[in-house]
A and B are shown apart, each in its own frame.
Chain A
């Protein structure tokens, strides 16, 4: 199966620590998206890459968040100085055209 993969699947960290998540999209998908989902809500858009260019960023993406896609393949999402409010499921999706396919997500818990 060559779907979207995300690592790690779970992360527990202490407030103030930095965390980094990785997303490997479906091969040949040039578009990659990050979303955040909190309990009882649908996913909310964070940022979007077309190849290696970051073309859109949501206002949800504070300056503690940074995302990269250096070679237009995998992507990383880093959260610096984590806060308890960052606890959520972080989802990655990829697409070639309009329809997006999601990975299994990384569940973050900030203590």
Chain B
């Protein structure tokens, strides 16, 4: 069983469209990160959220952390071909759980933005 479920797994959209990617869990996370990964490269950090209900914006990207700190979403407005990549959410479990410092990753959402 995957601790962090990401949906959709694959997404192909036209340039200019909006999209939302979801990251869900039954566990509570003390923090959650979103990364983007290009083929053959390591994940590149986009954002860290730590407070339940927190919303962060990064240009056309909006990240939200659920009130209960069990889920998160990434919304992209007016997608561009440069947004193409694998989007990964990763969380750190609350300190009282096992493995406080390790990141638990979802399988990722593979986004293709067609010009």
- A69 to chain B minimum Cβ distance, whole angstroms, is 14
Known: A33-B103, A48-B101. 19 other contacts (CB 8 A): A33-B102, A35-B103, A40-B107, A42-B88, A42-B108, A43-B90, A43-B105, A45-B99, A45-B103, A56-B101, A58-B102, A98-B31, A99-B48, A100-B33, A100-B45, A100-B103, A102-B35, A102-B43, A104-B42
Q: How many residues of B contact A (CB 8 A)?
A: 25
Task: List residues of A (23-75) whose CB comes within 8 Å of B's CBs.
Answer: 31, 33, 35, 40-45, 48, 55-56, 58
Q: How many residues of A contact B (CB 8 A)?
A: 26
| Per-position binary interface string of chain B over residues 82-99, scored 1 when its CB falls under 8 Å from any chain A CB and 0 otherwise | 000000101010000001
| B104 CB-CB contact with A under 8 Å | yes
Q: Interface of B with A (CB < 8 Å)? A: 4, 30-31, 33, 35, 40-45, 48, 50, 88, 90, 92, 99, 101-108
CB-CB under 8 A for A98 and B105, given A45-B99, A105-B41: no
CB-CB under 8 A for A107 and B105, given A56-B99, A98-B31, A98-B48: no
Which residues of chain B come closer than 8 Å to A35, judged between CB atoms? 103
- B22 to chain A minimum Cβ distance, whole angstroms, is 15
- Count of chain A to chain B residue pairs whose CB atoms are closer than 8 Å in the complex: 62
Which residues of chain A come closer than 8 Å to B105, judged between CB atoms? 42-44
